[in-house]
Chains A and B, each alone.
Chain A
Amino acid sequence: MLHTVNKSPFERNSLNTCLGLVKPGSAVLLIEDGVVGAIKGTAIEDQLIQAMQSCKLYVLGPDLAARGLAEDKLLDGIQVVDYGGFVDLVAEHTSVQSWL
Chain B
Amino acid sequence: MSEGVIKKFMYVNRKPPYGTVYALESLEVVLIGAAFDQDVSLAFIGDGVYQLTAGQSTGGIGMKNFSPTYNALGDYDITKLYVEKESLEERGLAIDDLMEVVYEDEDEDYAEKPSIRLVSRAELADIMAEQDVLLNF
Q: Which residues of A are interface residues toward B (Cβ below 8 A)?
A: 1, 13, 17, 20-23, 94-100
Chain B interface, number of residues (Cβ within 8 angstroms)? 17
Given contacts A17-B14, A20-B121, A21-B124, contact A95 B132 (CB under 8 A): yes
Does B12 lie at the interface of the complex (its beta carbon under 8 Å from any beta carbon of A)? Answer: yes
Q: Which residues of B are interface residues toward A (Cβ below 8 A)?
A: 12, 14, 45-46, 86, 121, 124-126, 128-129, 131-134, 136-137
List residues of chain B with CB within 8 A of the CB of A20. 86, 121
**Of all chain A residues, which has the CB nearest B87?**
A17
**Of all chain A residues, which has the CB nearest B126?**
A23
In the bound assembly, the distance between CA atoms of A94 and B132 in angstroms comes to: 7
Given contacts A22-B125, A23-B125, A97-B12, contact A17 B46 (CB under 8 A): yes
List residues of chain A with CB within 8 A of the CB of B133. 95
In the bound assembly, the distance between CA atoms of A94 and B128 in angstroms comes to: 12
Task: Please pick, from B12, B14, B129, the residue contacting A23 in the complex, using a CB distance under 8 A.
Answer: B129
Given contacts A17-B14, A20-B121, contact A97 B128 (CB under 8 A): yes
Evaluate contact between B128 and A98: CB separation under 8 angstroms. Answer: no
Evaluate contact between A97 and B121: CB separation under 8 angstroms. Answer: no
Closest-CB distance, B34 to chain A (whole angstroms): 20
**Of all chain A residues, which has the CB nearest B86?**
A20
In the bound assembly, the distance between CA atoms of A17 and B12 in angstroms comes to: 11
Closest-CB distance, B41 to chain A (whole angstroms): 14
